[in-house]
Structure 1
């Protein structure tokens, strides 16, 4: 005999109203009580009060009594061993998709060869992918709601087994990392443990019955034979199909859908501000109000934004592992699991194709330059971001290509002085971003440490400081020569002497960026930082005013 419960329904709560302490079971009959609406287990915060259904969040009050402990178990099937799937169930992502895409970004040709293994079956493909991957279990995104439930079931003595279509080696690593499973079964020797194959395995392994935790429509064939089900992020149609079966639902954990805000963060819409550089030739040539010159550049701005968003997304896919280990980058949509890496890749490819097609209709030369830009940014993401100095060279070049594209779309000749200034200036700003990463990594430690995901070490700080400040001063010198040797002879400006004030403001702002970088407080890309920094905005307004005075 064990303690029984009398359940009194209370008003429905929402997940937002629950603190982490609500997600706790008691080792008593209350733990085995079921919600009268969803049949989900009731989780208890205090002794027998402040209880809530883990599925529908209906609040309950539980009163003590006595009953046979086996009675509720017989009704809901929780006395049977629970087999747990891995992808999008125990973890919130698809391990195969992420592993393949990560390998493809690192070793594209070898990753492409693994696709040939699909002719021998999906299990062989999984084996080939995991042999190329450097899997780190510490970067897995576990489903905390499910893990909490599994730990509680384990505490009351229920057998738990990891049964997944992922490769057997991956299943073993995850089972060892979690530490609550009595066994781990995965795909191996050409046998893909999914759908009917998984069902046959479970029926052979557990002839007296089993429960199953899964997420996919392919799991329906398993739930038809299971004694009870744990649903994790299933679709509405799958949920209805399960509830129509003779299979009690122990727990139903909804999947958090990515909203527009998550997609906007992934696509880096705010980074489109960098593409304003394509308007520089129009502004300096005083053709900003010429519709024939302005319209192509506006469309080019849109095309570059679409393509850039695609490359930012691919960069995040390539950096999944390093981002999850980073203090702030782990909150990015793909790294946090808010957006699936496979879905993100499809969107990225569509955006890149749309951008190239749009700008190609405006100018084949501009289209070729955009392809060059894409080649540079993707080679940076896949390879050169880990090569010291080469990474900064590529970043400086990408900014300069934007200006060239703007000149081509506007049909204007571009100044070589301006292009040289652009390269050295943005080389310096890119170095400032790298320098602050080195400074922050070196703080609090006397040891020489590598910068994760980069090719630098903490002792490189003096080199990046000298190189960055030096190229910044070279950029200011070139800007002065641009004003004296290029702008003055053209007689485009009525009062060109005001432009010297712009040279001074650019020098003051860039040196301030380096000052903040060396102190380790520049917490963002310098261009993005300037758009949120009050001092930078004031200095920008002064630059606009000085330019206006020069043309009046």
Structure 2
């Protein structure tokens, strides 16, 4: 069979490249905007522009990590019952050479932007190195793999703070860490319960009961630390605590009854109550902090 028989139509290749950078997963980069909200600077055009630039650059960086991951996992994805059809590289929709070229282009964008916002790009650089280590080494190490995923979310918050040149409360960092550990533990739980250790080797070191306890501990920590952060630094946000509690409950409900959770973004966009909770939380934060933002 010659190469022309296996040629992929250009439009399908473009669609595959779009899927390769996983735009739906960019919702995770919303953590970059947290300092903008909690610093009360969301009405300042300069601060908002800086935060949105940091968000966009983190989207570039996270897309680069997805490409590295997919390039390294082509063989495993081709054996996976679902990923063999969903992942562009595994399905043959995108050739490895095209993916590598796109990866170089994304790295070039970040390198160019270092001259504009070096502090933000430096944090993204740490994120890239961490995820390369995760792709080739750390994802095979039990417990470390979960913490590596969680640290990526903490770096998102830190990048947002660097973009605004504002300090970030230690409470915010530990809250983000706990919330991310919760999401990562639930992801591992769903992978384990749905695919066993066939999805990834490290799952052989876990049990559903163990990751359930990890998730429960992390969810409790996220709620406690968020409440302490609100009470100590932003008492006007106390109205958001019930929304956070409901969101944790609802997410766990989606995981248990709808087999969600393997992808937090899929769970978010597939459940209207969970999505509405996030929207209400953002609105409540804006309403509570609005007077202070006006004064700034």
TM-score relative to the length of structure 2: 0.90
More strand by share: 1
1:120-164 deviations in whole A, cap 9, x for unaligned? xxxxxxxxxxxxxxxxxxxxxxxxxxxxxxxxxxxxxxxxxxxxx
What's the counterpart of residue 64 of structure 2?
Answer: 310
What's the counterpart of residue 453 of structure 1?
Answer: 200
Name which structure has the greater RCO, CA cutoff 8 Å, separation 6+: 2
Gaps of 5+ in 1: 1-88, 90-213, 216-232, 234-252, 443-449, 489-495
User: Does the Cα contact within 8 Å between 1:469 and 1:514 map onto a contact in 2?
Assistant: no
What's the counterpart of residue 241 of structure 2?
Answer: 503
Q: 2:47 aligns with which of 272, 293, 296?
A: 293
What's the counterpart of residue 486 of structure 1?
Answer: 233
What's the counterpart of residue 169 of structure 2?
Answer: 415
Report the Cα distance in structure 1 between the residues aligned to 2:93 and 2:261, rounded to whole angstroms: 24
Are residues 1:324 and 2:58 paired?
Answer: no
Map 1:63-142 → 2, pairs under 5 A: 89=1
Are residues 1:467 and 2:221 paired?
Answer: no
What's the counterpart of residue 207 of structure 1?
Answer: none
What's the counterpart of residue 155 of structure 2?
Answer: 401
How has the CA–CA distance of structure 1 residues 351 and 421 changed in structure 2, closer, same or farther, with 3 Å as cutoff? Answer: same
Report the Cα distance in structure 1 between the residues aligned to 2:215 and 2:64, rounded to whole angstroms: 29
Deviation at 1:524, TM superposition (A): 3.9
How much is the aligned-residue C-alpha RMSD, in angstroms? 2.0
Deviation at 1:549, TM superposition (A): 3.7
More helix by share: 2
Deviation at 1:500, TM superposition (A): 2.5
User: Does the Cα contact within 8 Å between 1:278 and 1:403 map onto a contact in 2?
Assistant: yes
Report the Cα distance in structure 2 between the residues aligned to 1:408 and 1:532, rounded to whole angstroms: 32
How has the CA–CA distance of structure 1 residues 548 and 523 changed in structure 2, closer, same or farther, with 3 Å as cutoff? Answer: closer
Gaps of 5+ in 2: 291-296
Any idea what SS the aligned residue of 1:362 has?
coil
Q: 2:104 aligns with which of 324, 338, 349?
A: 349
What's the counterpart of residue 201 of structure 1?
Answer: none
Deviation at 1:289, TM superposition (A): 2.0
Deviation at 1:528, TM superposition (A): 3.7
How has the CA–CA distance of structure 1 residues 371 and 441 changed in structure 2, closer, same or farther, with 3 Å as cutoff? Answer: same
Q: 2:187 aligns with which of 433, 443, 447?
A: 433
User: Does the Cα contact within 8 Å between 1:306 and 1:355 map onto a contact in 2?
Assistant: yes
